[in-house]
Amino acid sequence: MEISVAEDVRAPETQVPGALDRLQAAASADPAAFWAERAEAIDWSRRWDSVLDARRSPFNRWFAGAELNTCFNALDRHVRAGHGSRTALIHDSAYAGVQTRVSYAALLAQTARFAGVLRALGVGRGDRVVIYMPMVIEAVVAMLACARLGAVHSVVFGGFAAPELASRIDDCTPKAVVTASCGIEPNRVVEYKPLLDAALDRATHKVPAVVVLQRAQCAAALQAGRDHDWLASMAAATPADCVPVAATDPLYILYTSGTTGQPKGIVRDNGGHAVALLWSVKAVYDIDPGDVFWAASDIGWQVGHSYITYGPLLAGATALLYEGKPVGTPDAGAFWRVLAEHRVKVLLTAPTAIRAIRREDPDGQLLRGKHFPHFKGLFLAGERSDADTLRWAETHLRVPVVDHWWQTETGWPIAANPLGIERLPVKHGSPSRAVPGWDIHALAADGSEVPTGETGLLAVRLPLPPGAATTIWNGDERFDRAYFRDLPGWYKTGDAGCLDADGYVYVMSRVDDVINVAGHRLSTGAIEEVLAAHPDVAECAVIGVADELKGQAPLGFLVLKRGVTRSRELIAAEVVAAVRDRIGPVAAFRQALVVERLPKTRSGKILRGTMARIADGLEVAVPATIDDPAILDEIRAATRG
């Protein structure tokens, strides 16, 4: 594959006053010209015929006619440019007590060889491969090996139950599955192979080949003729070269968390994805080649795709894979150990993780005396960040704390304080302003704009920038119906919120979490903000429950900080009074329940919809993505009481 090799590319727009305004204006005035300029940072084997093909809007295509290989851009070009000795990946397993560093040259060698393994199993351009693995280096190798061959990977969160895994196998019909013998969680080993075997037996689509990484903690039984040992296969394989693919070809399918019924596989392309991810790593996170970027997520979620595997490697930076928890491995200082030992420049995690740390260590004792000279920023995403949590992090970490907003469908941030462009004044409760390329507005149901400061449907004017979802796998009509049909010319985010006079975005809740109390539309996020400000509250959630008189009424759930001994009833009464004082009687907020934990997905999102159905006395199917199903029993008991 003949491709010109670029040196490390750094975005020129760094900390220039007014730079964000100029970039946003340029992106809005001429999206094609704006993204063509940023595409120069990618190595292409064939240039594009058109930057933006909008003939089938909303199914827009970026860099139509171009060819590239994403793996080449993430690995080969850095090695060819003389940076093979630079660290590409750091694996830190708090569970196993093992740390491993892999250079770009070593990662390229492993990836090329595993691509040879897949090729020998019949995997080629356009074929699908399901990856069902824990947070290990081999998982990243498998993803990049698929990209190297032009195959389409679909990473399923390790440990997903057999029915959900089977539904994804039937939807994307893979030619192979790559797995590990087990994953590690606090105080237990989760055997993956029995779950996979059950899913393969259940699935209609018959997968011809399975590759199994045997981990030291557990050995998996292999089925003769179908299953292949990772190490033995690697030893026998011939390394594979990069296969050029169309920029518009799919790179991966990612099934959204919380999916029930028919899976919804978000499709990401190769060309637009590479351009957007590379640019965002510098523009939003201020990551340069050689910097250590830690996205404390899982490769099964969008954050792990964008900012563990692809973003940092495209930029020539170092990505960190952490196999552990924010608390309990061994304590609430786990994150601070990782920051110090690996010289992390930027940490991206969920607000839930910081709340969990704060709950265990409210006074920041585990941070006392610690210094992180390389640490320059904490980014939070995945859940709305309350002001109290942000202030706690700012006080104890003494770095910019950036609440930013994005979705699985967008693939990279929609709104953020872009530290690599221009550091903006912080407004707690807002993920700051739109990132260049995203044109955000708050709309009424008829598509008209709501006045500044009023809550509406948050939407993005088309065309969506490169890197956004291009469709749903096997579901163009579903894609159109879910995101575009209700508001022609716009992408419907599904979030409710507003913009202020300075263009700052406020994401208040999912549209489904806007409740109607006696004809008044109220955001549960606004009520949660009041609850979270109480000094004894570590975490909270507000849901709407059925009410005979008002239609719906808000109900609050409180998780208290560790060590709080005051009366639960008194604390509940105080937060009720605070809501009445700050929002007013219109909120009709009369009850808050104290619980030990909130039900969440494994990615940290609170399952408010599930909680609301429990509170209304409805039958609830246990969500496939929940981190601990036993928590639902506590919610059920609390609401019945």
Residue with structure tokens 């399952």? 607
* Exposure string for 440-462, b = 16+ CB within 10 A, e = fewer: bbbbeeeeeeeeeeebbbbbbeb
What values do phi and psi take at 240, rounded to 5?
A: -110, 145
Residue 292 within any structural domain of the chain: no
pLDDT tens for 521-578 read 677 877 888 899 999 999 999 988 887 666 788 899 999 999 999 999 999 999 999 9
Report pLDDT for 548. Answer: 66
Angle at CA of residue 529, ends 398 and 280, nearest 5°: 50
Residue 633 within any structural domain of the chain: yes
pLDDT tens for 571-625 read 999 999 998 888 777 778 989 999 999 988 776 778 888 888 888 888 887 777 7
Provide the percentage of residues in the chain whose pLDDT is more than 90.
75
**What is the value of pTM for the model shown?**
0.85
Are β-strands 471-472 and 61-64 bridged in parallel, bridged antiparallel, or unpaired? Answer: unpaired
Report pLDDT for 161. Answer: 81
Cα–Cα distances in Å, from 328 out to 94, 141, 339, 353, 380? 10, 28, 17, 12, 21
**Residue 622 CB burial class (10 angstroms; 0-12, 13-18, ≥19):** exposed
Tokens of 62: 């970026």
Which residues are bridge partners to 110 per DSSP? none
| Boundary-marking domain end, from 67, 102, 129 | 67
Of residues 313, 407, 411, the one with CA closest to residue 62: 411
Contacts of 423 (CB under 8 A, 6+ apart): 15, 400, 417
Angle at CA of residue 333, ends 329 and 339, nearest 5°: 100
pLDDT tens for 397-436 read 999 999 999 999 999 999 999 999 999 999 998 999 999 9
Residue 191 within any structural domain of the chain: no
Amino acid at 440: I
Of residues 141, 137, 472, 496, the one with CA closest to residue 321: 137
E-strand spans in 456-489? Answer: 456-461, 471-472
Alpha carbons 62 and 59: distance in angstroms, whole number = 10
Report pLDDT for 552. Answer: 80
Residue 553 within any structural domain of the chain: yes
pLDDT band at 338 (very low <50, low <70, confident <90, very high): very high
Query: Rounded to an integer, what is the distance from CA 372 to the centroid of its chain?
Result: 25
* CATH code, domain with 602: 3.30.300.30
Q: Is the dihedral of CA 629, 635, 640, 641 positive or negative?
A: positive
Q: At residue 7, does pLDDT exceed 70?
A: no
Cβ 64 vs Cβ 115: under 8 Å: no
Report pLDDT for 5. Answer: 35
Q: At what angle do helices 387-397 and 351-360 cross, to 10 degrees?
A: 70
Report pLDDT for 612. Answer: 86
Are β-strands 471-472 and 250-255 bridged in parallel, bridged antiparallel, or unpaired? Answer: unpaired
| Boundary-marking domain end, from 67, 82, 100 | 67
Report pLDDT for 549. Answer: 66
Mean pLDDT score, 55-62: 95
Contacts of 373 (CB under 8 A, 6+ apart): none
Provide the percentage of residues in the chain whose pLDDT is more than 70.
94
DSSP 546: E
Alpha carbons 493 and 580: distance in angstroms, whole number = 30
Residue 314 within any structural domain of the chain: no
Q: At residue 342, does pLDDT exceed 80?
A: yes
The total number of structural domains that make up the chain: 2
pLDDT tens for 90-125 read 999 999 999 999 999 999 999 999 999 999 999 999
Residue 621 within any structural domain of the chain: yes
Owning domain of residue 550: 518-640
Q: At what angle do helices 137-149 and 104-120 cross, to 10 degrees?
A: 60
Residue 570 within any structural domain of the chain: yes
- Pairwise pLDDT comparison (521 vs 325), residue with the higher score: 325
Residue 359 within any structural domain of the chain: no
- Pairwise pLDDT comparison (208 vs 6), residue with the higher score: 208
Report pLDDT for 6. Answer: 36
pLDDT tens for 279-298 read 999 999 999 999 999 999 99
305-309 contacts, C-beta under 8 A, 24 or more apart: 305/143, 305/155, 305/252, 305/254, 305/268, 305/411, 306/277, 306/411, 306/412, 307/281, 307/348, 308/140, 309/74, 309/140, 309/143, 309/144
pLDDT tens for 226-283 read 999 999 999 999 999 999 999 999 999 999 854 345 789 999 999 999 999 999 999 9
Q: At residue 51, does pLDDT exceed 50?
A: yes
Integer-rounded Cα radius of gyration of the chain = 24
198-202 contacts, C-beta under 8 A, 24 or more apart: 198/162, 198/166, 199/162, 199/163, 199/165, 199/166, 199/169, 200/166, 200/169, 202/162, 202/163, 202/166
Report pLDDT for 513. Answer: 65
Alpha carbons 93 and 547: distance in angstroms, whole number = 48
Contacts of 97 (CB under 8 A, 6+ apart): none
pLDDT tens for 343-386 read 999 999 988 899 889 989 999 999 998 889 999 999 999 877 88
Which residues are bridge partners to 401 per DSSP? 378
What values do phi and psi take at 572, rounded to 5?
A: -60, -40
Of residues 454, 455, 463, the one with CA closest to residue 491: 463
Q: At residue 1, does pLDDT exceed 60?
A: no
